[in-house]
Amino acid sequence: MHRLTAALAGAISAAALSAGPALAQVPVKPDVPSILQWTPQQQAEWYPAIETVYRVRTIARGDKVHPLPKAARQIAPTFEYGGRTFTVDDYMKAYNVSGVLVLKDGKILLERYGLGRKPQDRWTSFSVAKSVTSTLVGAAIQDGKIKGLGDPVTDYIPELKGSAYDGVTVRQLLMMSSGVKWNEDYTDPNSDVARAGAAIQEPGVNPIVSYMRRLPRANEPGTKFTYNTGETDLVGVLVSNAVGKPLADYASEKLWKPYGMERDGIWMTDLAGHERGGCCISMTLRDYGRVGQFILDGGKAGGKAVLPAGWTQEATSPQITNGAPAPGYGYFWWMRPNGSYDASGIFGQSITTFRDDRLVIVVNSAWPQATGRELGAARTAFVNAVRQAATAP
pLDDT for residue 13 is more than 60: no
Predicted confidence (pLDDT) per residue in 343-357, tens digit: 999 999 999 999 999
Nearest to 197 by CA among 370, 52, 26: 26
Q: What is the pLDDT of residue 162?
A: 97
Q: What is the pLDDT of residue 190?
A: 85
Average pLDDT score over residue span 112-132:
97
Average pLDDT score over residue span 55-78:
97
**DSSP class of 252:** I
pLDDT for residue 21 is more than 90: no
pLDDT for residue 6 is more than 60: no
Q: What is the pLDDT of residue 33?
A: 87
For residue 123, name the pLDDT band (cuts at 50, 70, 90).
Answer: very high
Mean pLDDT over each residue of the chain, to the nearest integer: 91
Q: Burial-class residue 140 by CB neighbours within 10 Å (0-12, 13-18, 19+).
A: buried
Q: Compute the 3-state secondary structure of the chain and give helix, strand, coil in percent, each to the nearest 5.
A: 35, 20, 45
pLDDT for residue 8 is more than 50: no
Q: Where are the alpha helices (DSSP H) in the chain?
A: 6-15, 40-46, 88-94, 128-142, 170-174, 192-195, 207-212, 229-243, 247-251, 285-296, 311-315, 373-391
Q: What is the pLDDT of residue 25?
A: 67
> How far is 276 from 270, CA to CA, in rounded Å?
6
Average pLDDT score over residue span 281-288:
98
Average pLDDT score over residue span 130-139:
98
Coil/strand/helix, residue 130: helix
Average pLDDT score over residue span 237-253:
98
Q: What is the pLDDT of residue 196?
A: 82
Predicted confidence (pLDDT) per residue in 248-276, tens digit: 999 999 999 999 999 999 999 998 999 99
Nearest to 348 by CA among 16, 61, 108: 16
* Residues with Cβ within 8 Å of residue 59, at least 6 apart in sequence: 248, 251, 252, 256, 261, 264, 265, 266, 267, 281
Contact 21, 385 (CB under 8 A): no
> How far is 379 from 355, CA to CA, in rounded Å?
19
Q: What is the pLDDT of residue 35?
A: 86
The edge-to-edge listing of strands for the beta sheet with 56-59 is 56-59, 265-268, 281-284, 122-124
Predicted confidence (pLDDT) per residue in 27-53, tens digit: 888 888 888 889 999 999 999 999 999
In order of their start, the domains of the chain are 6-128+246-391 (3.40.710.10)
- Which pTM was predicted? 0.92
CA–chain centroid gap for 348, Å, is: 11
Q: Burial-class residue 214 by CB neighbours within 10 Å (0-12, 13-18, 19+).
A: exposed
Contact 121, 306 (CB under 8 A): no
For residue 199, name the pLDDT band (cuts at 50, 70, 90).
Answer: confident
For residue 22, name the pLDDT band (cuts at 50, 70, 90).
Answer: very low
